[in-house]
Amino acid sequence: MGGVRIELGEIEAVVLKRFPGLLNVAVEKANERLVGVAAPRPGEKLPSVQEVQTALAAELPAAYVPSEWHFRDALPLGSAGKVDHNLVIAWVRDQSKANMWGAIYDELYFANEMQVSVQPYSLSPSTRLNLNPVPDH
């Protein structure tokens, strides 16, 4: 990525070293970008995305710093107790799809020219339901 060989485990190790309040970290490559997913130890405070990115930037080349972070209560674990990266990347891809469809929905239904302004006086049931009969011809 960016001409630099990336070992995702190296990135995860730096995050865990710099933030001992995190229990698990997974860094995945999704759509040509790095995405980090982390879970805290019980009772620990999560760092901010900015704190994680700043800490990584101080120790790693820019190409190693994930551009996106998600924090969850827990990460899926395999039978050996290690992070199940297949499930994490599937979740990351699902999040990307949800974001894409959300953006499409927003674009279609909340575009400036389609916004509806509701005036307080137009909240009667007949106005809300548009019950005006259509004349027969």
| pLDDT tens digits for range 34-80 | 999 999 999 998 999 999 999 999 999 988 899 889 999 998 898 88
Averaged pLDDT for residues 5-21? 91
- Structural domain that includes position 64: 1-76
Q: Mapped to the 3 state alphabet, what secondary structure does 67-132 carry?
A: CEEEECCCCCECCCCCECHHHHHHHHHHHHHHHHHHHHHHHHHCCHHHCCCCCHHHCCHHHHHCCC
What is residue 107's predicted lDDT score, i.e. its pLDDT?
61
Three-state SS at 3: coil
- If one counts every other C-beta atom within 10 angstroms of the C-beta of residue 88, the result is 22
What is residue 97's predicted lDDT score, i.e. its pLDDT?
62
User: Above 70 in pLDDT, residue 124?
Assistant: no
Total of domains in the chain: 1
101 in any annotated domain: no
What is residue 111's predicted lDDT score, i.e. its pLDDT?
60
Give me 30's structure tokens.
């999704």
19 in any annotated domain: yes
At 120, the pLDDT band (50, 70, 90 cuts) reads very low
Most confident of 41-50, 98-107, 108-117, 119-128: 41-50
Residue 74 and residue 28: Cα distance in Å, rounded?
16
50 in any annotated domain: yes
47 in any annotated domain: yes
Residue 18 and residue 54: Cα distance in Å, rounded?
11
The answer to whether 29 and 8 have CB atoms below 8 angstroms apart is: yes
115 in any annotated domain: no
User: Above 60 in pLDDT, residue 85?
Assistant: yes
Averaged pLDDT for residues 1-29? 88
2 in any annotated domain: yes
29 in any annotated domain: yes
Averaged pLDDT for residues 15-27? 95
58 in any annotated domain: yes
CATH assignment of the domain containing 28 = 3.30.300.30
Residue 34: beta bridge partners? 29
Mean pLDDT, rounded, of the chain: 78
The answer to whether 84 and 74 have CB atoms below 8 angstroms apart is: no
